Amino acid sequence: KKIKRLWKNLIKEKEFRDSFKYKNIKIFEYIKDDLDFFFSKYLLDVLIDFETIKSMIKIEKPDIFCMFGEASSHGRIINHITKKEGIPFIGIAHGGTAAYTPFYVHKKNEINAKEIEPNYCPIPDKTFVYGKHFKDFLIKDCNYEARSVIVTGATQADILYRIKKIYNKKEICKELCLDPNKKTVVLTTQPHLDIEERKKIAHIACKAVKKLPNIQLIVKMHPMELDFQSYKNIAKLVKIKNSIITRDFDIYKILYICDVVMTAMSNTLLEAMVLDKPSIIIDPLKKGYSNIYNNSKAILVAHDEFRLHKHLKDVLYKRKVIKKLKKLRKTFNHRQFYKIDGKTNKRIAQLI
């Protein structure tokens, strides 16, 4: 409550508001809502999480702590507490690249893998990453020490490596009430995007798929999403047939049976690439989501339903395009992933 009061008083000061500048442009009004959120509800959540994690570590007394998504707020908390307690902390990157997220980007002398001082942002003792691309990014652009970053490969790639032995397409299609003889396109959604942008992406996907005969659409919601009705309303409005909306169905089953993956930004795109599936980014607001994947030519980009419709036709039916993208995906995977050999988890276990 004291911090909230201080914050409310602080934002009344013109000098403080004017101090927020980017390239000599005042930006306070554009980020005010985010700052309000950080110093109100979010701050309380972080404090509760901090005390909970602190208590958990005190009770469990781990010899080492490993975590996926180590750059998240939970990761920062764990990092701080484990360093204070002298417990080694290993971060396992959740994704093949981090160029789009600010959580990894640091200036020189801003991060420290050993100390817990106010002027340092704590990072793990070791960070395990998918491949050389991510390692180079952390060292060159984020100022990580080279010895703290280790390439292991992607843990989920172990499942993808064996996926043909695990799943059966006909059985999965039967579970989803889909025709195994028809082409299937999947849209994977992202909860972190604004709801209106998510609706726009879904609308574009539905309209583009509708124009193609005998194509089935799966809208695979992110597990954190709750708003089924919005997607149902869009499908009803567009009058698309042969479509299903699901949140809890196994994503790997869906990726296995589909022919094309569409998304704004998601790890499912990387997983689709491992499975050699054509992938398309839908970016209606032109935010540059392709930057996340280094603007790779292996991934197509659509800003509207017309371009998406063309891309879908090309990747499904044009042999020249199919052959070209297949070659580009191979190059992309070689740079993004260390090895796709079913042994990533074993390598990580041995390193630990």
Q: Write a three-state SS string for 47-107.
A: HHHHHHHHHHHHHHCCCCEEEECCCCHHHHHHHHHHHHHCCCEEEECCCCCCCCCCCCCCC
- Write the pLDDT tens digit of every residue in 155-191: 989 999 999 999 999 999 999 999 999 999 999 999 8
- Write the pLDDT tens digit of every residue in 45-57: 888 999 999 999 9
For 4, the 3-state DSSP assignment is: helix
pLDDT number for residue 37: 85
pLDDT number for residue 97: 59
* Residues 308, 205 contacting (CB under 8 angstroms): yes
For 139, the 3-state DSSP assignment is: helix
Nearest to 257 by CA among 246, 266, 265: 246
- Across the chain, mean pLDDT equals 90
pLDDT number for residue 101: 66
Please give the torsion angle defined by the CA atoms of residues 236, 306, 186 and 274, in that order, rounded to the nearest 10 degrees: -170
The residue ranges of DSSP E strands in the chain, in sequence order, are: 21-22, 25-26, 65-68, 89-92, 111-112, 121-122, 126-129, 149-151, 183-188, 215-220, 243-246, 260-263, 279-282, 300-302
Pairing label, strands 25-26, 21-22: antiparallel
Residue 67 to residue 53: CA distance in whole angstroms = 13
Percent of the chain with pLDDT over 90: 61
Pairing label, strands 260-263, 243-246: unpaired
Question: Two tokens at 162?
Answer: 């064996």
For 249, the 3-state DSSP assignment is: coil
Looking at per-residue pLDDT, the higher value among 24 and 206 belongs to 206
